[in-house]
Structure 1
Amino acid sequence: MTDVVFSDVELRDGRKILYQGLNFTLSGGLNAVYGPSRTGKSSILLLASGHLAPTAGRVLIDGKRPDRRRAGLGPIHDLTPLFDTLSVQETILFQARLHKVRQPKARVAELIAQYDLHDVRSYRVKDLAHLEQFRTGLATALVHRPDLILIDEPERGLTNEEWEVAHGDLLRLTRDGHTVLMTTVLAQVADRCATVIELPGGEVRSA
């Protein structure tokens, strides 16, 4: 179980302050950053993964500065899309090699089986149905076995029935000891999470 601490965090985008004095602590479970578009939700994932540094304040993951190798960051819409012309298998294998996973092909096969992607393993990512895209993104985040999983708007494009499947995938990760932080624009999705950080105000509430 991974602890995530944001302490008086400020983040600026040029002259614009996305947030300041942001404080919250997560310890395990399924957690959400909730709010409308363009409020800096995805930036919180990037701060937690070490891809961004705060303008002020501190972000700590298990008491240490964020490390890209210790977090699993799924695709972020409009920023870090999947390589949609690669196949599912090629996409996950690319991430495995990027993270220097031992026996990468075996790890890819394990994740393809775990997320029921065998029948579509040779499909290009852009040709997948939304649930299969979600599961491919989840597999790329998990390929190097991180304890902290960061997912951007996993409900996007899913039907209610498909979201229940995806939600089950995320809950299983928490039962296996992962800390999961996701973003969402939907109140009904946020309400099913243990801790919710609401933007733009930065209010924190627990279930």
Structure 2
Amino acid sequence: MRPIAIIDDDIAVRDSLSMLFETRHWPSLGFDSAEAFLGAANVADFGCLIVDIRMTGMTGLELYGELKGASYLPPVLFLTGHGDVPMAVAAIKDGAADFLEKPCDHRVLVAKVEQYLDADQTARGDWEVRQHLAERLASLTPRERDVLRELLVGRLNKQIADVLDISIKTVEVHRARIYSKLKVRSGVELAALLRDVDWDVSA
């Protein structure tokens, strides 16, 4: 299980939550500011983030804005005072998982964190599959990308050779290399693999 990040400038809150999670055998790491988290941590290393919405320096909302640009963002649960509830609601509309008002019911907090850790495992698995595919696509040469683009619109080897002004044998070589790099055995598998991928093969 990946650790839970506790980002709060109140040491009492950090210590209390850390001890609470320890009773469930959930690892956690505390950070006393948003800046400390950004300077020392990789957000993808965590299974869930618990963030105080109002902190000295960068606020929790500002931190969330920074983290949204990450390639992977685990569930984010905001802790908020009563006066900050409208901001927390806005954060949920912007993709945050949820918020709890301080002082929060620890039973509710534990139930939510357990839910988010489970959700993280599922989402992370999908993300890792996409990451691995992106790495394989990045390994293609410019000419292999040209051939892949033509394959994806359904052209046959002879048609691809005519479009790219290369020999059929060269097309066959590139096609075989594409299949090998992307770990597919047929055009059907290739199309299925890339069906939902937002990737510009001409790049």
Q: TM-score, normalised by structure 1?
A: 0.31
- Which has the larger Rg? 2
Q: TM-score, normalised by structure 2?
A: 0.32
Tell which has more relative contact order, 1 or 2 (C-alpha 8 A, sep 6+).
Answer: 1
- Greater helix fraction, Structure 1 or Structure 2: 2
- Greater strand fraction, Structure 1 or Structure 2: 1
